[in-house]
Amino acid sequence: MSVLKRIQLYDTTLRDGAQTAGIHFSTEDKVRISEALADFGMDWIEGGWPGASPTDQAFFESMKHRTWKHTKLVAFGSTARTGHPISEDQGLNNLISSDSDAVCIFGKSWDLHVTKGLGLSLEENLSLIQGSIAYLKKHIAIVIFDAEHFFDGFIANPKYAMQVLHAAILGGAETLVLCDTNGGSLPHQIEDTVQRIKQEFPNVTLGIHAHNDSEMAVANAVAAVRAGVSHVQGTINGIGERCGNTNLISFIPIACLKMKLDCGVNQQQLGQLTYLSSFVNEMANRLPWRHQPFVGQSAFAHKGGIHVSAIQKDRRLYEHLDPTCVGNSQRILISNQAGRSNIVAKLQQLEPTAIIQVNDPVVKEVIKNIKDMEAHGYAFEGADASFQLLLQRAMGRYQRHFELVGFRVFDEKRGHLKQPEAEASVQVRVHDRLLHRSALGEGPIHAMDQALRLALSGAYPCLESTRLSDFKVRVLSSKEATKAAVRVLIESTDGVKKWSTVGVSHDILEATYRALNDAIEYKLLIDQIPSDLERIQA
């Protein structure tokens, strides 16, 4: 294995990542993402293809006044087209006028692509590669060459694939990036090939650009680094064409924490990985993958009682690294597989000052309640607020802040093409006062939520700032079709904190009400609002 002093991180989220099906970055999105990547400390940020779209053109225009201290902006393009002098190629001239710090162009290194894809002779392709890079070098200091389909090309015709790399070097390229464009290579193939290329070009910076079609992109990047590569291209969260690219969110901690390599990222920056992953997901309008390694919500989540008992003694027993290193945190899940250790650990997370022992009768009661409720469809893994209320009840510390007298929900539709109209009416009792409110809504759920908050906000003004930030419904038994029970999971926020609650019923409105009730009671609990009973006693 070669000893590497420094691994260059090259991010192509804004170009290759933007080619993901369903992702559309606006110019403003790209600017915000690029600033976040630069703050993180990426060596290179590939901004896109100047002239290819109005969005990319506007992005490079907006980046002309960037003030990055370390990160370099890269413009992406291809070798010149045939039929005109290289100096007149519009694509190359767009790269030159982009005001980027470097350019990266790709060229074909698989003879099949040259002859069938481009319809060129092998010699013409070599001439275009060398000539395009040489022309760019007259205007831009740094030119990176992506040898597209290199690993497939090397298998098919190793002599020609090598000639492509030599042509790029003769043109003046500083870095040769070996691309597994179809994503079909395996780590041992990558490592063997890179070792051979390193022998041929011992003093040239080599890079890897891997796609994830075989679920091997990160593994292939690691294999390439082991063989001598010092420049790694990838994207945040592994987004990209088809199945995506090397996931830098995974590669970076592997390289830094496990391989002990210098990626130019310090401990504080590593701690931003979870935030960076979440931020790019938000910009891409994607739900985060809960099970994403290192940064996912479940990456360091423990459900089985034996596991929880073990990590209470030493987290290394079931965790491959400290989650705080990447900005994540350990989670103890509560389910029908929970043991007493789960309950105690969870309680200590929710209430660090609480004193409770494993053999406490409260723990036994909570476990029984959880298992009974989950047998009827409840799930507390993603509903910490409902679980904490359950604990409060078991400990005899829970007092209701209001009582529901009743609710009615009307959902009326007139005519096939007309939109339905929803109205809800809610009666609650607070401080021996009967409160009644009605509200219209965008559907029955919204109407009930509005009416319930209106009824309570006079007595509890803090509820005016709360709102639903997420709402999920899960059918618990598809065999029962429309008769099936449903589980409703609600996420609420007051603009500062977020909390999740759950409700289950065969009636979706009843399930929703139960989750809403917990959401409101939890808000009043954390704001330390006295309950009715506490007010009377006071």
Full DSSP string of 222-258 = HHHHHHT--EEEEBGGG--STT-B-BHHHHHHIIIII
Topology adopted by domain 376-400+465-538: Double Stranded RNA Binding Domain (3.30.160)
Confirm if 148 and 183 have CB atoms less than 8 A apart.
no
Token pair recorded at residue 243: 């199945």
Confirm if 363 and 343 have CB atoms less than 8 A apart.
yes
Domain range list for the chain:
8-283, 301-375, 376-400+465-538, 402-459
- Which superfamily does CATH assign the domain made up of 8-283 to? Aldolase class I (3.20.20.70)
> Shortest CA distance to 459 belongs to which of 425, 499, 431?
431
DSSP character at residue 80:
P
The Cβ-side half-sphere exposure at 361, using a 13 Å CA radius, reads 2
Mean pLDDT by 10 residues, the chain (538 residues): 74 97 93 95 97 95 95 98 95 97 98 96 98 98 98 98 98 98 98 98 97 98 97 98 98 97 95 92 84 92 72 84 90 58 61 63 75 78 82 79 94 88 94 92 92 92 89 80 86 88 93 94 86 48
pLDDT of residue 207: 98
Confirm if 300 and 329 have CB atoms less than 8 A apart.
yes
pLDDT of residue 352: 60
Quick one: CA dihedral 445, 447, 450, 454, positive or negative? negative
pLDDT of residue 333: 62
> Shortest CA distance to 515 belongs to which of 500, 528, 530?
500
pLDDT of residue 1: 44
